């Protein structure tokens, strides 16, 4: 430990995923092989842990626990959504100096990249040598500079799995409960919602309609889409982003939300699915059922994508290597090789192009009607998500009526 150049601090930020602990494990295991690194400190509950000097000694953990993180969902250090402000800079710098922290790895999305960038700048401005290499993570998949974001493939796998199964459920119910909406996370980005399309094995399988925030859908168009699908097969399954919009900046049904209040007089958030269910009942007389798994999308360990688990671990290790090699700021990125076989290598991008920006689903990943992902999207997402799970093909009875 005598020749250590300084200590390392690592934090987890924003919403947990099933693989954010894999990245943590990767950082810790890689840090342990570098003599430049002294203490390995975990920020308790994100950047606030650094600000409040609440730091967990990660060298005190057993090797079994560090390895076990790779199969443990959620964020083992605790996470948070605190945003640094210039008022915090003095205090942060004091802690960095007091703890002799020279390496920082912050695992998170675009807000977290902003935090990393602020840390880099405040240290640079103070002439304090600090290596800040961010580790990407978000189920929303909306980070610039990387082919995809760890966390997304597994959440997408949950969505595809849930869609495949709830699609079969709705098919069996037939006319008595003919419309199902699976409401899907993703804030302003449709990456996770689009993944529902991976559930389709043969033509006509659910989902039948996919609505993402990047493509506005008018109320009339939505009703018409559902009517047409219902006439074709007597049931309709919809993948609906929680942020689906009828106009730029206006989610479906947003104008009705203020009319609804809860038992205590608070305005109800409403929610796109509740509105659409009421709309379809009103216009088409169809009963609509909702599945809103919400946080299960990001934490359901059973749906962890093997590709995701491995890559999340790898970007953690790479972040440490980059920092030790001397890079002062950046985020580890995943770079996909061209060609049909899936392979990703890692690289590092400047935080300047990543912080506070949202990479939304590109136009070529949705059809012209804005209600179905293209083959190009499926080719992008399939290798990340893997084959349907369970892998057995489900059967259907041939409709030989006597």
Active site residues: 140
Nearer to a copy of itself, 174 or 362 (CB): 174
Burial of 306 (0-12, 13-18, 19+ CB in 10 A): exposed
- For residue 385, give the 3-state DSSP assignment: helix
Helix (H, G, I), strand (E, B) or coil at 310: helix
Q: How far is the CB of 147 from a copy of itself (least distance, A)?
A: 26
Spatial contact of 71 and 35, defined as CB atoms under 8 Å apart:
no
Q: Nearer Cβ to a copy of itself, position 205 or 214? A: 205
- Least distance to a copy of itself, CB of residue 127, Å: 25
Answer for the pair 106, 116: CB distance below 8 angstroms, yes or no.
yes
Please name the residues in contact with 142: beta carbons below 8 A apart, sequence gap of 6 or more.
109, 110, 149, 186, 187, 188, 189, 191, 358, 359, 360
CA distances from 271 to 119, 131, 168, 278 (A): 36, 42, 25, 11
Q: What pairing do the DSSP bridges indicate for beta strands 37-43 and 329-336?
A: unpaired
Task: Rank residues 134 and 279 by Cβ distance to a copy of itself and give the closer one.
Answer: 279
| Cα→Cα distances 90→83, 94, 126, 229, Å | 15, 6, 10, 60
Taking the least distance from each CB to a copy of itself, the nearer of 60 and 368 is 60
Q: Nearer to a copy of itself by C-beta: 93 or 301?
A: 301
Contact partners, residue 306, CB within 8 Å, separation at least 6: 386
The residue among 216, 228, 1 whose CA lies nearest residue 100 is: 1
With respect to a copy of itself, which residue has the nearer C-beta, 279 or 354? 279
**CA separation for the pair 376, 175 (Å, rounded):** 33
Burial (CB < 10 A; 0-12, 13-18, 19+), residue 63, is exposed
CB atoms closer than 10 angstroms to residue 302: 11
Cβ 377 to a copy of itself, closest distance in Å? 24
Which residues make Cβ contacts (< 8 Å) with residue 143, sequence separation at least 6? Answer: 109, 110, 113, 136, 149, 331, 354, 359
Cβ(6)–Cβ(102) below 8 Å: yes
Minimum Å gap between C-beta 194 and a copy of itself is 19
Q: Which of 37, 28, 23 is nearest to 101 (CA)?
A: 37
Per the CB < 8 A criterion, the answer to whether 206 and 170 are in contact is yes
State the nearest-atom distance from the C-beta of 381 to a copy of itself, in Å.
Answer: 19
Measured from the CB atom, the residue of 250 and 376 that comes closer to a copy of itself is: 250
- In the bound state with a copy of itself, the residue whose beta carbon lies nearer, of 214 and 274, is 274
Encoding tokens for residue 65? Answer: 């626990």
């Amino acid at each position: 430990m005598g020749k250590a150049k300084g200590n390392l601090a690592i934090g987890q930020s924003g919403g947990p995923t099933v693989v954010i602990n894999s990245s943590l494990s990767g950082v810790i295991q890689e840090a342990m092989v570098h003599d430049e690194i002294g203490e390995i400190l975990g920020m308790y509950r994100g950047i606030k842990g650094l600000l409040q000097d609440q730091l967990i000694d990660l060298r005190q953990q057993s090797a079994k626990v560090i390895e076990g993180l790779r199969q443990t969902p959620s964020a083992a250090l605790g996470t948070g959504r605190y945003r640094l402000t210039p008022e915090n800079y003095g205090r942060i710098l004091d802690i960095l100096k007091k703890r002799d922290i020279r390496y920082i790895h912050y695992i998170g999305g675009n807000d977290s990249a902003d935090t990393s960038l602020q840390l880099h700048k405040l240290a640079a401005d103070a002439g304090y040598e600090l290596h800040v290499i961010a580790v990407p993570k978000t189920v929303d998949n909306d980070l610039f500079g990387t082919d995809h974001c760890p966390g997304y493939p597994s959440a997408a796998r949950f969505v595809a799995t849930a869609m495949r199964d709830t699609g079969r459920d709705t098919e069996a119910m037939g006319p008595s409960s003919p419309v199902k909406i699976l409401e899907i996370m993703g804030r302003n980005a449709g990456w996770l919602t689009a993944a529902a399309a991976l559930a389709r094995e043969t033509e006509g399988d659910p989902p039948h309609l996919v609505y993402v925030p990047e493509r506005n859908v008018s109320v009339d168009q939505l009703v018409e889409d559902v009517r047409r699908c219902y006439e074709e097969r007597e049931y309709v399954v919809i993948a609906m982003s929680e942020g689906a919009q009828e106009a730029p900046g206006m989610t479906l049904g947003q104008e009705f939300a203020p009319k609804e209040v809860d038992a205590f007089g608070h305005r109800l958030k409403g929610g796109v699915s509740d509105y659409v269910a009421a709309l379809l009942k009103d216009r088409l007389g169809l009963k609509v059922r909702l599945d809103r798994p919400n946080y299960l999308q990001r934490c359901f360990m059973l749906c962890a994508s093997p590709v995701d688990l491995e890559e999340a671990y790898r970007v953690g290790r790479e972040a440490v290597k980059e920092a030790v090699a001397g890079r002062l700021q950046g985020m580890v990125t995943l770079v996909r090789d061209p060609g049909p076989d899936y392979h990703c290598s890692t690289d590092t991008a400047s935080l300047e192009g990543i912080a506070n920006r949202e990479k939304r689903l590109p136009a070529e990943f949705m059809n012209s009607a804005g209600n179905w992902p293209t083959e190009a999207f499926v080719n992008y997402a399939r290798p990340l998500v893997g084959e349907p799970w369970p892998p057995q093909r489900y059967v259907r009875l041939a409709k030989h009526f006597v």
